Amino acid sequence: MSHLVVFDLANPGAPEQSKAAPERLIAGDPSYRTWEMAAAAHGGIHTGIWEATPGVTRSIKGETWEYCTILSGTVILTEEGGAARRFTAGDTFVMRPGFVGTWETVETVRKLWVTVT
């Protein structure tokens, strides 16, 4: 097994498709496509590509760290008690454990992500 994981952004393979959980849906009818590229043997680190269509959902990180780089599209993240932040292609951010707020996909978004629990 190789210890190198290469992301083929042009042809990532077949995604897992899903919808927003009803208890987290605020507006719209977003759908998701996830390409999980690698998970650590101990199970605490995952990485991949994620895509979402427009809509607004409640984002709750719990004990998870999430690193994101936006590849395309536009999102607005608003942490509870904080100001709205707009992210577009090329922007990178980290949501720390305990993040609670809204994730608004304004224009279909695709991102690279790494989560650590």
Report in angstroms the alpha-carbon separations of 33 from 3, 9, 15, 42.
25, 13, 6, 24
In a domain, 33, yes or no: no
How far is the C-alpha of 98 from the C-alpha of 100, rounded, in Å? 6
Give the pLDDT score at 111: 98
Instruction: Say if residue 56's pLDDT is above 80.
Output: yes
pLDDT for 42 equals 63
What does the pLDDT read at residue 41?
Answer: 59
Q: How many domains does the chain contain in total?
A: 1
CATH number at residue 89: 2.60.120.10
Q: Is residue 3 part of a domain?
A: no
Token pair recorded at residue 48: 């991949």
Helix (H) or strand (E) holding 24: none
DSSP conformation class of 99: -
Q: Answer whether residue 8 is part of any domain.
A: no
0.85 cut: is pTM over it? yes
Say what the pLDDT of residue 3 is.
Answer: 80
Within a domain: 6: no
% of the chain at pLDDT higher than 70: 97
Query: Domain containing 106: what range?
Result: 39-116
**102 in Cβ contact with 83 (< 8 Å):** no
Token digits of residue 115:
């989560």
